[in-house]
Structure 1
Amino acid sequence: MKKKIIIKSAELFLNLGFKSVTMDDIANEMGISKKTIYQYFETKTKLIEATAIYKFECISESIDAIFNLNANPIDELFKIKEFITNYMSNQKKSPEFQLKKYYPRIHTILKQKQFEVMQGCVSGNLDRGIAAGLYRDNLNVEFISRIYFNSMGALKDHEIFPENQFSLEDLLDNYLEYHLRGICTPLGVTLLNKKNTLINYK
């Protein structure tokens, strides 16, 4: 029952917003009493924290699955970009913005988890790219992995990138191009150009 409550709550929170969905709404949607929810979660805040971590773990598993495909490092980043584009395009609300505004403690917890996972993923991608001769061997992996994390966060800042000027897909496309052009060897650039040609051809 606890997992069912988390899954249904995540669906409602992401579609309608963390602030607007009440415990009564969740109970009514599930056909259970509010008392049943409180048996597992003492407060709405604890339920929100559980749903935020649950969604984060789902996303992490999907990204891990991409890395497990053992694609070349450049293809890997394109696949991750496609996943992020599809995932974020399907969201009706901005959960991260809402957490930051209304539940800052949960937002801080989630951001730390995101940093740890993303830094590990980006560092691994950089190491494999260097080993394959696709990325320059003089890269500071620790520095670039941190810049990557912060830059991806900045793309979601609508004050810096207003939605009426920048689409999510264009932002991710341009940032990935910017990132790869800065780290690739001539061999990597050749592969990137071929990748872009194929994408544009489609």
Structure 2
Amino acid sequence: MKEKILEKAMDMYLKLGFKSVTMDDIAQEMGISKKTIYQHYANKTDLVTEVATLLVNKISCDIDTIYAEKHNAIKELFEIRRYLKTTLDDQYMAPVHQLNKYYPEVALSVKSSQFDKMHESVKDNLNRGIEEGLYRPDIDPEFISRIYFNGITGIKDSAVFPDELYTRTQTTKMYLEYHVRAIGTLKGTEMLEEYLKES
């Protein structure tokens, strides 16, 4: 039952927002009593935390599948972007904003978890890109990985990138181009331009 509650809550939170959906709403949707939910989750914050953690873990596992496909470093970035665009498109940004606004401690924990999972993967991408001759050999993968994470999470900030000026699809594509042009070799930027035409 706990897993069913978690799955239903995730579905409703993503569609309607973390703030908008109450424990009563989840219970009614599932045809169970609110008491049943509280047998498994002490309060809504606990449920929101588990949903956010589950979502991060699911995305991480899906991205690991892309890593396992052994694309070249630049193609890998575009494949991850394509996956995220189809899985977490603009309709999911409102719940993320609500998470940041109404559950800041949960959002901070999620961001920390995202960084832990992403940091080593991005460093691996950078090192492979250097080996493949796509990224410059003089870059610092440790530093660039941190900059990349800060940028890719920062472009989701609607105060800086308002929805009326940029769609999520535009910002991710522009940021990916910015990232690769900053570190790419001539071979890498030529490959980038081909992938940009396809995306």
Same-fold status (TM-score > 0.5): yes
Q: TM-score range by the shorter chain?
A: over 0.9
- Trace 1:51-90 onto structure 2 (pairs within 5 A): 51-89=51-89
Q: Which residue of 2 aligns with 1:141?
A: 141
Using structure 2 for the length normalisation, give the TM-score: 0.95
Residues 1:191 and 2:195 aligned together: no
What is the deviation of 1:90?
Answer: 5.6
8 Å contact from structure 1 (residues 66, 76) kept in 2: yes
* Whole-angstrom distance in 1 between the partners of 2:105 and 2:11: 21
Unpaired runs of 5+ in structure 1? none
The SS at the match of 1:166 is coil
Q: Which residue of 2 aligns with 1:2?
A: 2
> Percent identity between the aligned chains?
45
- Trace 1:117-132 onto structure 2 (pairs within 5 A): 117-132=117-132
What is the deviation of 1:165?
Answer: 1.0
Residues 1:28 and 2:25 aligned together: no
* Whole-angstrom distance in 2 between the partners of 1:82 and 1:93: 16
* Whole-angstrom distance in 1 between the partners of 2:193 and 2:13: 41
8 Å contact from structure 1 (residues 16, 93) kept in 2: no
Residues 10-46 of structure 1: per-residue CA shift (max 9 Å, x gap): 1111111111211111111111111111111011110
Q: Which residue of 2 aligns with 1:150?
A: 150
- The one-letter code of the counterpart of 1:88 is L
- Trace 1:155-194 onto structure 2 (pairs within 5 A): 155-194=155-194
- The one-letter code of the counterpart of 1:41 is Y
Residues 86-128 of structure 1: per-residue CA shift (max 9 Å, x gap): 2232635523221221111111110100111111121110011
* Whole-angstrom distance in 2 between the partners of 1:196 and 1:36: 50
* Whole-angstrom distance in 2 between the partners of 1:192 and 1:44: 44
What is the deviation of 1:77?
Answer: 0.3
Residues 140-195 of structure 1: per-residue CA shift (max 9 Å, x gap): 11111111111111211111111111111111111111111111112212222333
The SS at the match of 2:166 is coil
8 Å contact from structure 2 (residues 90, 168) kept in 1: no
**What root-mean-square deviation, in Å, do the aligned CA atoms of Structure 1 and Structure 2 show?**
1.4
8 Å contact from structure 2 (residues 16, 95) kept in 1: no
For the structure 1 residues 193 and 90, does the alpha-carbon distance in structure 2 shift closer, same or farther, using more than 3 Å as the test?
Answer: closer
